Amino acid sequence: MELTSSQELILWLGTAGMAAGAAIIAAIGFSLPNHQRHHVTASFFVCAIAACAYLAMATGSGVWMVDDQPVYYARYLDWLVTTPLLLLGLLTVGFAPLTGGGEAGRTRNGLIGWVLGADVLMIATGLVASLRGDSSDRWIWYAISLVFFLLVLWGLFGPVKQHLDAKMTPLYTKLLGILTILWVIYPILWVLGTEGTGAIGLTGEILVFAVIDVLSKVGFGILLVLGIKSMSRSHAAA
């Protein structure tokens, strides 16, 4: 499929935005104390992976034609890996340090399994919905994906909140609020875009996805590492 020049430009800007985000997050990481640097890795790789996915799309790959509509499966491969990493980054910020050994660690792993498992299914079933083309059963897959999305949010707003570190709770709550607002836009855009009802055209869809992708990866990652940085500063001062 031939991209129009404005579609190609948006995808190149997306590539540049993600690459710049990875570089900025790495740079902030180097200013963190050693024991806090692990907070940077997930956010860095989220942006690095997305930069590669955007580069693939800008250079014309990562797309299949289904019922005469382009389906950018590269997005879903990106999301399949980056959304679990985003969630893992958020959980790492929030969770209290483990005490009591054995059972507490297993409970923690169970919660991670819940949130990440539901998230992977949300993206995988969303990809199936996209590949169903004009077939009306795509809405069944869409509904299944939506159920798993709600399970992700339930995990993050419910059980995970009982395992937070008191001093990390404000940062966790702020990041979770931002994540929820940004992530809710995806299923809405899917309905409006070419894979759903076609109310907005392909260029509009590529543009809005690029903007929310950059906000939910670069913006979210920068806020996360800056949040950690300001907390380690205030603890050093205390």
- Residues lying near ligand RET in the complex (CB under 6 A) are found at 50, 79, 82-83, 122-123, 126, 129, 142, 145-146, 149, 183, 186-187, 190, 213, 216-217
What is the smallest separation between the CB atom of 61 and ligand RET, expressed in angstroms? 19
What is the smallest separation between the CB atom of 182 and ligand RET, expressed in angstroms? 7
- Token pair, residue 93, equals 């910020």
In terms of CB distance, is 77 or 104 closer to ligand RET?
77
How far is the C-alpha of 146 from the C-alpha of 39, rounded, in Å? 29
How far is the C-alpha of 234 from the C-alpha of 33, rounded, in Å? 13
In terms of CB distance, is 32 or 195 closer to ligand RET?
195
Identify the sign of the CA torsion 24, 26, 32, 36: positive
What is the smallest separation between the CB atom of 204 and ligand RET, expressed in angstroms? 15
* Residues 6 or more apart whose Cβ sits within 8 Å of residue 11: 3, 54, 57, 58, 206, 210
Q: Which residue is nearest to ligand RET (CB)?
A: 126
Q: Which of 49, 10, 17, 41 is nearest to 218 (CA)?
A: 17
In terms of CB distance, is 39 or 217 closer to ligand RET?
217
What is the smallest separation between the CB atom of 6 and ligand RET, expressed in angstroms? 21
